[in-house]
């Protein structure tokens, strides 16, 4: 066991030379129109808004602002495509189109990764190794389901829902688009997609891919804008299904707005996952798991392991190791391949995170941040932990959506469970132990849709994802994710 | 006159040597024997390898060697490789149509068979990461255990491919075996062996690891018993209608309790001929018990 005297010498004098990803191979237009009915069309209002690189605060491009009239146009195009070719097409042929999308994303993977990093601030390493390959894999997986749906729901016959309105967040822009679009298309629906206002570029690139793949016009429509555009989709009477990923706050508004309508909905909302470390865990792996759980993607992860529970007997050791490890994390240029923590997605989000840091301190928590230098321009937050906090603290209860970890301790298994479940959220959880029996007991006890054992933040197209309680309704991914886009009939 | 002039300028075609496919290589049969394929007019199309017992044994060794690695490849990768086979076959449509015609299939039927073969590969590619989700189960045992059953490939599968469907029939039986992580040794249709050999070239260009699919040509009357009796083959897929042969195969298979999958009289051109139970046929069910506690 490592003691303070012989701790791993992370800081052994190594310096990293810059390893920036080049951007000369990517194409970002100065201006993006809406993608409706297979064409790029100007917004009725003529208005555009800027999308900014959060690492430099410089404008990357201008994107059309879709209003009610544009949304109506998109829904109409989607309806036409649904009634026309798409819902009548041979399912295997639908699959072939979706396979094409998967293949083109694979071919253009490097471009997508660079743009994702530029527009959203995430480290290029994560965009390259996680977001983009997973997005392609999602299309590949659901393409295969298109002509196999009858095997997913024995005893029922399946039918598409119609036009799906899909509203996605800014933390995994392309990947969330894939999570939404791929199953919707495989099940025979058509789509009106709205990317987040701070990260619209890869959705527009996806529109290019969809056009290149030769999908019938109107099968996928992309409208850009902020909350008002989303609200317009939600309230449009021509939409049959709403799929939303975002905050619980907005999810509540959407559920309320849909009350009394015939629209179906799935909601992937916030989280405050417990990551539970037992004393018999492999400690160095657990520490890596904690780091991955909360600092992956700047903590902009709805399933982030933002509440850490450590068994008392090992708490001191774990926290020390964690601090040592945090000290090695590089915060900075997202396009640098050595960067561990990129830019906070927007100024507004940085302000929100910083306000929580103040709240945490005011409530009596002990805040610790690594000493990593951060660039002058751009939006940055060092990896942060709070110790000395309790269940009632706001930094323990509320979703911060940043690289901020609240640490508490426990003595017994039952105490860990009751603390882990003391939250309105129920998206995910983590457990670290060498005992298999304890893992299964824990997964049974934690009220959450995904539980990672001796790992964290793993995603796969075959694996369902979604929350209990106020973390949402429905599942995305895997066989169970098909349910969200089908009517089941006798 | 113009036509005649054209003809005189016609180049002399180069005939292809049809060889067998073992362990990612294209050897001739070790036996040095051949059988002749003739067209309707009695002209020779090709001298085809008349594979031997020794060829089959070599192929089985290759299949066994390749099996753990192939089964260990993740489902997504296996799916992508099957999809790649489809892509490669699509690019060679004209060659395969011409070859089927050479073996007596009408142009239109040949085109349909090639198109369906591509689509069937894509169909099974799609199952790679799904059949497990459809056929596996978590079993609610009464004790405090987490109990689950998953499918695992049975191992090496020998396949006597359909006699009457040189390309589509072969693909319809090979794809479900390999998508599930098995490796296989295939005996091509005796009357239509050319498509099988050309398919081997497609497989060879599709990132399919050596030994995963091995394809022999030869005489059924001579080789079937070896396909059925080999002690290091776990299952035999047997597409032959003859009752007498079926009985022999089943008897020989009993030597090492081979799984016998009889698929006689299937019309492989029908959409209903493709389903995931073809995958399950060459899978074992493995159940794991794990305690739940503190």
d(CA A330, CA A333): 9
CA distance B291 to chain A (A): 5
Q: Report which of A280, A299, A296 is spatially closest to residue A442, judged by C-alpha positions.
A: A280
Q: Which domains does chain A have, with CATH numbers?
A: 31-269+468-489 (3.40.605.10), 271-453 (3.40.309.10)
d(CA A39, CA B175): 39
Task: Give the pLDDT score at B241.
Answer: 80
Q: Is the dihedral of CA A313, A316, A322, A328 positive or negative?
A: negative
Task: Give the pLDDT score at A1.
Answer: 45
d(CA A110, CA A128): 7
With cut-offs at 50, 70 and 90, classify the pLDDT of residue A2. very low
d(CA B261, CA B239): 8
Averaged pLDDT, B28-48? 94
Query: Would you list the domain boundaries of chain B?
Result: 27-291
Chain B residues near residue A140 by CB distance under 8 angstroms: 76, 79-80, 83
Task: Look at residue A253 and tell me whether its pLDDT is greater than 50.
Answer: yes
Question: Which of A144, A152, A441 shows the shortest C-beta gap to B126?
Answer: A144
**pLDDT exceeding 70 applies to what percent of chain A?**
97
Average pLDDT, chain A: 96
Q: Report which of A170, A178, A225 is spatially closest to residue A33, judged by C-alpha positions.
A: A225
Task: Look at residue A286 and tell me whether its pLDDT is greater than 70.
Answer: yes
Task: Give the pLDDT score at B243.
Answer: 86
pTM of this structure:
0.96
- Tell me how crowded residue A166 is: count the other CB atoms within 10 A of its CB: 27
Q: According to the 3-state scheme, what is the secondary structure of chain B?
A: CHHHHHHHHCCCCCCCCCCCEECCECCCCCCCCEEEEECCCCCEEEEEECCCHHHHHHHHHHHHHHHHHHHHCCHHHHHHHHHHHHHHHHHCHHHHHHHHHHCCCCHHHHHHHHHHHHHHHHHHHHHCCCHHHHHCEECCCCCCEEEEEEEEECCEEEEECCCCCCCHHHHHHHHHHHHCCCEEEEECCCCCCHHHHHHHHHHHCCCCCCCCEEEECCCHHHHHHHHHHCCCCCEEEECCCCHHHHHHHHHHHHHHCCEEEECCCCCCCCHHHCCCHHHHCCEEEEEEEEECCC
Chain A residues near residue B76 by CB distance under 8 angstroms: 137, 140-141, 461
Task: Give the pLDDT score at B40.
Answer: 83
Task: Look at residue B1 and tell me whether its pLDDT is greater than 50.
Answer: no
- Of all residues in chain A, the one with the smallest CA distance to B121 is A144
Q: Is the dihedral of CA A223, A225, A226, A232 positive or negative?
A: negative
Chain A residues near residue B288 by CB distance under 8 angstroms: none
Averaged pLDDT, B154-161? 98
Classify B211 in phi/psi space as left (phi over 0), alpha (psi -120 to 50) or beta.
left
Average pLDDT, chain B: 95
CA distance A399 to chain B (A): 30
Averaged pLDDT, A265-274? 98
pLDDT tens by residue, A208-239: 999 999 999 999 999 999 999 999 999 999 99
d(CA A193, CA A167): 6
Task: Give the pLDDT score at A349.
Answer: 98
Q: Is the dihedral of CA A137, A138, A143, A145 positive or negative?
A: positive
Asked whether the beta carbons of A457 and A293 are under 8 A apart, the reply is yes
Map tokens 């295969």 to a residue: A144
Q: Is the dihedral of CA A476, A482, A487, A490 positive or negative?
A: negative
pLDDT tens by residue, A160-191: 999 999 999 999 999 999 999 999 999 999 99
Asked whether the beta carbons of B233 and B258 are under 8 A apart, the reply is yes
The tokens describing B78, both together, are: 């296996």
- Of all residues in chain A, the one with the smallest CA distance to B119 is A92
CA distance A145 to chain B (A): 7
Chain B residues near residue A146 by CB distance under 8 angstroms: 126
**pLDDT exceeding 90 applies to what percent of chain B?**
92
Averaged pLDDT, A99-119? 98
Task: Look at residue B15 and tell me whether its pLDDT is greater than 80.
Answer: yes
Asked whether the beta carbons of B50 and B28 are under 8 A apart, the reply is no
pLDDT tens by residue, A272-281: 999 999 999 9
Map tokens 């492999």 to a residue: A282
d(CA A126, CA A117): 9
Superfamily of domain B27-291: Aldehyde Dehydrogenase; Chain A, domain 1 (3.40.605.10)
Task: Look at residue A359 and tell me whether its pLDDT is greater than 90.
Answer: yes
| Yes or no, beta carbons of A444 and B292 under 8 Å apart | yes
Task: Give the pLDDT score at B247.
Answer: 94
């Amino acid at each position: 066991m490592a003691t303070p005297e012989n701790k791993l010498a992370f800081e052994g004098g190594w310096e990293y030379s810059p390893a920036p990803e080049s951007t000369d191979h990517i194409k970002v237009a100065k201006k993006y129109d809406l993608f409706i009915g297979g064409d790029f069309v100007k917004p009725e209002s003529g208005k555009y808004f800027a999308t900014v690189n959060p690492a430099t605060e410089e404008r990357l491009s201008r994107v059309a602002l879709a209003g009610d009239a544009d949304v109506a146009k998109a829904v109409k195009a989607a309806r036409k495509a649904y009634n026309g070719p798409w819902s009548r097409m041979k399912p295997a042929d639908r699959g072939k189109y979706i396979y094409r999308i998967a293949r083109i994303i694979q071919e253009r993977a490097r471009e997508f990764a660079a743009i994702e990093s530029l527009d959203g601030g995430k480290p290029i390493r994560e965009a390259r190794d996680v977001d983009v390959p997973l997005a392609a894999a999602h299309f590949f997986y659901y393409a295969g389901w298109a002509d196999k749906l009858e095997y997913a729901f024995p005893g029922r016959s399946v039918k598409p829902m119609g036009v799906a309105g899909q509203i996605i967040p800014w933390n995994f822009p392309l990947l969330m688009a894939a999570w939404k679009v791929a199953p919707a298309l495989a099940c025979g629906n058509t789509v009106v997609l709205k990317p987040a206002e701070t990260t619209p570029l890869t959705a527009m690139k996806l529109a290019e891919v969809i056009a290149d793949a030769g999908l019938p016009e109107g099968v996928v429509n992309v409208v850009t804008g902020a909350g008002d555009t989303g609200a317009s989709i939600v309230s449009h009477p021509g939409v049959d299904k709403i799929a939303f990923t975002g905050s619980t706050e907005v999810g509540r508004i959407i559920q309320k707005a849909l009350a009394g309508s015939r629209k179906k909905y799935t909601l992937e909302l916030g989280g405050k996952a417990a990551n539970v470390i037992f004393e018999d865990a492999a400690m160095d792996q657990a520490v890596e798991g904690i780091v991955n759980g909360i600092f992956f993607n700047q903590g902009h992860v709805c399933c982030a392991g933002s509440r850490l529970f450590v068994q008392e007997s090992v708490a001191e050791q774990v926290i020390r190791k964690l601090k040592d490890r945090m000290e090695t994390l590089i915060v900075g240029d997202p396009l640098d391949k050595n960067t561990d923590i990129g830019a906070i997605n927007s100024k507004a989000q940085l302000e929100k995170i910083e306000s929580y840091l103040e709240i945490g301190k005011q409530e009596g928590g002990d805040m610790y941040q690594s000493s990593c230098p951060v660039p002058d321009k751009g939006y940055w937050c060092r990896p942060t932990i709070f110790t000395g906090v309790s269940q009632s603290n706001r930094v323990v209860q509320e979703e911060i959506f940043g690289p901020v970890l609240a640490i508490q301790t426990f003595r017994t298994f039952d105490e860990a469970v009751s603390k882990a479940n003391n939250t309105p959220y129920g998206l995910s959880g983590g457990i670290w132990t060498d005992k298999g029996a304890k893992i299964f007991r824990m997964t049974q006890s934690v009220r959450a849709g995904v539980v990672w054992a001796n790992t964290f933040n793993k995603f796969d197209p075959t694996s369902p994802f979604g929350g209990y309680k106020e973390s949402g309704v429905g599942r995305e991914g895997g066989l169970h994710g098909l349910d969200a886009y089908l009517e089941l009939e006798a | 006159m113009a036509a005649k002039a054209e003809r005189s300028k016609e180049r002399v075609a180069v005939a292809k040597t049809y060889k067998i496919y073992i362990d990612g290589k294209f050897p001739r049969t070790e036996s040095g024997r051949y059988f002749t394929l003739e067209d309707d007019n009695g002209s020779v199309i090709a001298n085809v390898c008349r594979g031997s017992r020794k060829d089959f044994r070599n192929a089985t060794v290759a299949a066994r060697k390749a099996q753990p690695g192939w089964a260990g490849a993740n489902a997504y990768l296996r799916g992508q490789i099957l999809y790649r086979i489809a892509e490669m076959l699509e690019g060679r449509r004209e060659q395969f149509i011409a070859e089927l015609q050479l073996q007596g299939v009408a142009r239109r039927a040949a085109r349909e068979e090639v198109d369906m073969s591509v689509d069937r590969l894509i169909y099974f590619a799609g199952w790679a990461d799904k059949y497990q989700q459809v056929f596996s189960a978590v079993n609610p045992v009464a004790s405090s255990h987490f109990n689950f059953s998953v499918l695992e490939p049975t191992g090496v599968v020998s396949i006597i491919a359909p006699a009457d469907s040189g390309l589509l029939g072969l693909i319809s039986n090979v794809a479900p075996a390999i998508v599930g992580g098995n490796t296989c040794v295939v005996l091509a249709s005796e009357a239509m062996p050319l498509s099988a050999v050309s398919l081997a070239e497609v497989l060879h260009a599709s990132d399919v690891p050596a030994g995963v699919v091995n394809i022999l040509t030869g005489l059924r009357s001579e080789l079937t018993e070896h396909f059925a009796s080999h002690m290091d083959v776990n299952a035999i897929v047997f597409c032959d209608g003859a009752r007498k042969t079926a009985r022999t195969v089943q008897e020989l298979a009993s030597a090492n309790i081979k799984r016998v999958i009889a698929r006689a009289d299937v019309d492989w051109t029908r959409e209903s001929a493709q389903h995931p139970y073809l995958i399950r046929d060459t899978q074992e069910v493995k159940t794991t018990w794990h305690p739940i506690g503190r």
